[in-house]
């Protein structure tokens, strides 16, 4: 890999142990993916929830921080594993909270901004077309690449950290123009209506594409999705397919025309109502008992919070209901009375977490929750591996089901 003089100095340890580790890490990863050099990035975003980081990872972070590590570019964080204002009632332990506290302290020492959000493209500083960034969280990456036109690979925690420390990332994958061309062409034959439908469409497209190295271009949509709809679509596509980038012909910035991304040269494959229904049918049915209803994955925007509050104002939930949002949205939603409206129903709004990365398995076991209902196609995909029997329904149906205690 070609290195600049400054990068050579980092690798030699002239700029401290943290930068030496970071550059060495980037060379190893870049080697596997044939990166010719490193590309400067404007922001880094790290997933560093304690459930995945573990004691070993936290010790690693503390060690770097103790060696004077300091990020070179603006660096932000994904949701935390514990809402430090509300964890014992969920059955989370003091040990989990301590791990989170240690992580926060180490990150802050390195100059990392603890934004604790997976909707930074709605709340912090959205990237712009052509902006090279190093983002963690698959939902953040797919949205930023596809809707904003940013350039990012899926950067796992350690690689996002390395990018934050060096201000660069290996130039491979989606940092290269040629890898952003479409490889699959899907034609939508059933129009999505509402967040869950967009998620289901994303899930089907992701399943069909099925690999990090495939780029779907989707045509046939009658309407431009809202930011929240594109968010659910992308998060589900990334979850079901490991997909980091999609184009919507005539909608997203790199695909004003189908031919801009080479879609005209690809065979068209239909996505029909049957395909969407097949995916939906794998997740729950009417009359099933509900142990917990979760609104999360991705964290709710202020608009989703308002919509949810509007649906359940004045009602009383029979089932436990958990709502996860970012600290930025939480502050606004509190100020506007939305959190109060939601919690008057018996729901609990969590700040800076996302249900699936906050020890979901342990929370489920502690509370006896198996049958989980959500409007997020992403969360129902992933929680099967954590001992849940997840079911999928629209936000409206989730609210009605929580009131009744069973899927309506």
Partner 1 sequence: MTTELKCHKGIGPRVEGVALVADDNFSARYDLDRINGVFSRPQHKLVGQSYVDRILVLNTSKGGVASAWMLHEMKSRGICPKAILFNSANTILAQGAALADLTMCDRFEDGDVTQLIATGDELIVDPEAGLVTIVAKA
Q: Is 57 in the site for partner 1 (CB under 8 A)?
A: yes
- Report residue 80: phi and psi, to 5°: -85, 170
By CB under 8 A, tell whether 95 contacts partner 1. Answer: no
To partner 1, the closest distance from the beta carbon of 172 in angstroms equals 8
Residues that bind partner 1 (rule: CB under 8 A) add up to a total of 44
Is 62 one of the binding residues for partner 1 (CB under 8 A)? Answer: no
Whole-angstrom CA distances from 175 to 4, 112, 219, 269 are: 18, 24, 24, 27
* Residue 43 or 239 having the CB closest to partner 1: 239
Considering only the stretches 93-101, 132-140, 176-184, 253-261, report the one whose residues sit in contact with partner 1 under the rule CB under 8 A: 132-140
Q: Residue written as tokens 């509007």?
A: 310
* Binding mask of the shown chain, residues 1 to 40, with x at each position contacting partner 1 by CB under 8 A: ------------------------x--xx-xxx-------
Nearer to partner 1, 95 or 270 (CB): 95
> To the nearest whole angstrom, how small is the minimum distance from the Cβ of residue 208 to partner 1?
14
Choices 42-50, 65-73, 93-101, 322-330 (CB under 8 A): range interacting with partner 1 = 42-50
Residue 243 or 319: the one with the smaller Cβ distance to partner 1 is 243
The answer to whether residue 211 forms part of the interface with partner 1 (CB under 8 A) is yes
Q: Is 159 in the site for partner 1 (CB under 8 A)?
A: yes
**Window contacting partner 1 (CB under 8 A); options: 54-62, 273-281, 314-322, 368-376:** 54-62
Site for partner 1 in 238-267 (CB under 8 A): 239, 241-242
Q: For partner 1, give the closer residue by CB, 167 or 241.
A: 241
Contact with partner 1 (CB under 8 A) among 78, 100, 229, 351: 78
Provide the token pair at 216: 């779907």
Span interacting with partner 1, options 84-92, 197-205, 366-374, 379-387, rule CB under 8 A: 379-387
Single out the residue of 40, 130, 285, 385 in contact with partner 1 (rule: CB under 8 A): 385
SS (HEC) of the chain:
CCCCHHHHHHHCCCCCHHHHHHHHHHHHHHHHCCCCCEEECCCEEECCCHHHHHHHHHHHHHHHHHCCCCCCCCEEECCECCCCCCCHHHCCCHHHHHHHHHHHHHHHHCCCECCCCCCHHHHCCCCCCCCECEECCHHHHHHHHHHHCCECCCCCHHHHHHHHHHCEEECCHHHCHHHHCCCEEEEECCCCCCHHHHHHHHHHHHHHHCCCCCCEEEECCCCCCCHHHHHHHHHHHHHHHCCCCCEECCCCCCCCCHHHHCHHHCCEEEECHHHHHHHHHCCCCCCCECCEEEEEEEEECHHHHHHHHHHHCCCCCCCCEEEEECHHHHHHHHHCCHHHHHHCCCCEEEECECHHHCCHHHHHHHHCCCEEEECCHHHHHHHHHHCCEEEECCHHHHHHHHHHCECC
The answer to whether 126 contacts partner 1 (rule: CB under 8 A) is: no
- 367 binding partner 1? (CB under 8 A): no
> Which CB sits closer to partner 1, 302 or 391?
391
Among 12, 191, 213, 259, binds partner 1 (CB under 8 A): 213
Residue 384 sits in the site that holds partner 1 (CB under 8 A): yes
CB of residue 11 vs partner 1: minimum separation in angstroms?
15
229 lies in the binding site for partner 1 (CB under 8 A) = no
- Closest approach, Cβ 408 to partner 1, in A, equals 26
- If the CB atoms of residues 182 and 380 are measured against partner 1, the closer one turns out to be 380
From 167, 173, 234, 390, residue interacting with partner 1 (rule: CB under 8 A) = 173
Q: Is the peptide bond before 298 cis (omega within 30 degrees of 0)?
A: yes
Which one, of 161, 106, 171, lies nearest residue 135 by Cα? 161
CA dist., res. 332 & res. 337, Å (int): 9
Question: Cα–Cα distance between 177 and 200 in angstroms, integer?
Answer: 28
Contact set with partner 1 (CB under 8 A): 25, 28-29, 31-33, 47-49, 51-57, 60, 78, 136-138, 153-160, 172-173, 210-213, 239, 241-242, 357, 382, 384-387
């Amino acid at each position: 890999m070609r290195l600049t003089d400054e990068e050579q100095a980092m690798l030699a340890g002239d700029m401290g142990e943290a930068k030496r580790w970071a550059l060495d890490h980037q060379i190893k990863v870049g080697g596997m993916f044939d990166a010719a050099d490193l590309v400067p990035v404007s922001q880094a975003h790290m997933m560093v929830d304690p459930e995945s980081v573990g004691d070993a990872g936290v010790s690693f972070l503390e060690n770097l921080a103790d060696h004077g590590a300091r990020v070179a570019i603006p660096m932000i964080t994904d949701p935390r594993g514990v809402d430090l204002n509300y964890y014992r009632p969920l059955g989370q332990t003091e040990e989990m909270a301590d791990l989170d506290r240690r992580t926060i302290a180490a990150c802050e020492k390195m100059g990392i901004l603890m934004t604790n959000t997976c909707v930074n493209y709605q709340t912090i500083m959205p990237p712009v077309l052509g902006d090279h960034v190093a983002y963690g969280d698959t939902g953040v990456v797919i949205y930023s690449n596809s809707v904003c036109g940013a350039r990012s690979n899926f950067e796992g925690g350690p690689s996002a950290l390395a990018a934050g420390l060096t201000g660069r990332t290996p130039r491979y994958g989606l940092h290269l123009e040629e890898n952003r061309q479409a490889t699959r062409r899907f034609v939508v034959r059933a129009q999505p209506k509402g967040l869950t439908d967009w998620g289901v469409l994303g899930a089907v497209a992701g399943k069909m594409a099925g690999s990090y190295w495939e780029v779907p271009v989707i045509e046939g949509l009658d309407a431009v999705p809202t930011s929240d709809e594109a968010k659910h679509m992308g998060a589900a596509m990334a979850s079901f397919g490991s997909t980091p980038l999609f184009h919507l012909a005539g909608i997203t910035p790199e695909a004003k025309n189908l031919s801009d991304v080479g879609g005209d040269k690809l065979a068209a494959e239909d996505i029909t109502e049957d395909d969407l229904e097949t995916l939906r049918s794998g997740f729950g049915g009417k009359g099933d008992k509900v142990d917990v209803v979760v609104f999360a994955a991705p964290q709710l925007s202020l608009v989703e919070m308002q919509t949810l509050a509007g649906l359940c104002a004045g009602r009383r939930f029979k089932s436990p209901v958990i709502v996860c949002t970012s600290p930025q949205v939480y502050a606004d939603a509190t100020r506007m009375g939305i959190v109060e409206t939601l919690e008057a129903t018996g729901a609990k709004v969590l700040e800076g977490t996302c249900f699936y990365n906050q020890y979901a398995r342990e929370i489920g076991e502690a509370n006896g929750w198996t049958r989980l209902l959500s409007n997020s196609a992403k969360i129902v995909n992933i929680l099967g591996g954590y001992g849940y029997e997840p079911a999928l329904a629209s936000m409206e149906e989730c609210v009605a089901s929580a009131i009744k205690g069973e899927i309506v």
